[in-house]
Amino acid sequence: MNASMKSTGRPDVNKLKNDPSYRQILELDFNDMIPFVLYNIRKKSFFSLIYAGINIAMLVFIALYIIWGIFGSQHTWSAVIKQSVAGIVAGSILVIPIHELLHGLAYRFLGAKKIRFGADMQQFIFFVTADRYPVSGKELYFLALTPFVMINAATIVLIAACFPQVILFPAFLLLSHNIMCIGDFAIVNYVHNHAHGRVFTFDETERKKSYFYEEVVDEKE
């Protein structure tokens, strides 16, 4: 593992904190996560536009599908309500363990070992941390967006292959889950918009804080 870290050029926590080649750009308390998310998801970038675009497109699709189905007698209001409620519950609650497990697997793939799962029910946020294990900005994109990509892809393939007659349930599941991915998109959006050099981030689990550092860039170069 040490050889791997050296080969990727990933600094450890002590180097990030003490080496003048790096500077801290953010200290984020877990209790301040909601304001951070709401502020950064509104910053325009490729990631925020993708987040908004996919959710709006899914919402429009659902509305048109319901209208077509009702007026075309393809399904009843009872079926619409049942599938809609089931999809919302599955996408916003039942899928959470799978979502967080995929974050954990992404951390493991990146080499982290001290992985912890947690939740703050007051803010209704769920998280995975790897105590004092820095990841780069590019690795953060992979880490944050793995659940979004995997759950969308797996659901679409499964429905297309096995249950093409059931549309509303998976549509509401994906819409609810994708909305719940707002924190993941906000974090990558922050890195994309605020970093000028190479970025590294790590958590200190016991202190419930995340730190973001960037490599100091010599403006003369």
Residue 221 pLDDT: 45
Q: Give the DSSP letter of residue 87.
A: H
Residue 1 token pair: 């593992």
Instruction: Please name the amino acid found at residue 168.
Output: L
* Helices (H), ranges, 90-181: 96-109, 137-162, 168-180
CA distance 114 to 131: 6
CA distance 199 to 212: 7
The pairing of beta strand 22-29 with beta strand 135-136: unpaired
- pLDDT digit of tens for each residue in the chain (221 aa)? 333 333 356 899 999 999 999 999 999 999 999 999 999 999 999 999 999 999 999 999 999 999 988 887 777 888 889 999 999 999 999 999 999 999 999 999 999 988 999 988 888 889 999 999 999 999 999 999 999 999 999 999 988 777 777 889 999 999 999 999 999 999 999 999 876 678 999 999 989 999 999 988 765 44
Residue 195 pLDDT: 67
Residue 5 pLDDT: 38
pTM of the model: 0.88
- Give whole-number Cα distances, 178 to 58, 114, 187, 216, in Å: 10, 27, 15, 35
CA distance 104 to 145: 12
Residue 2 pLDDT: 38
Given the structure tokens 């990727």, which residue do they identify? 8
H or E stretch at 27: strand 22-29
- Give whole-number Cα distances, 207 to 6, 37, 125, 156, 211, in Å: 27, 20, 17, 39, 11
Given the structure tokens 């703050």, which residue do they identify? 120
Residue 108 token pair: 């493991």
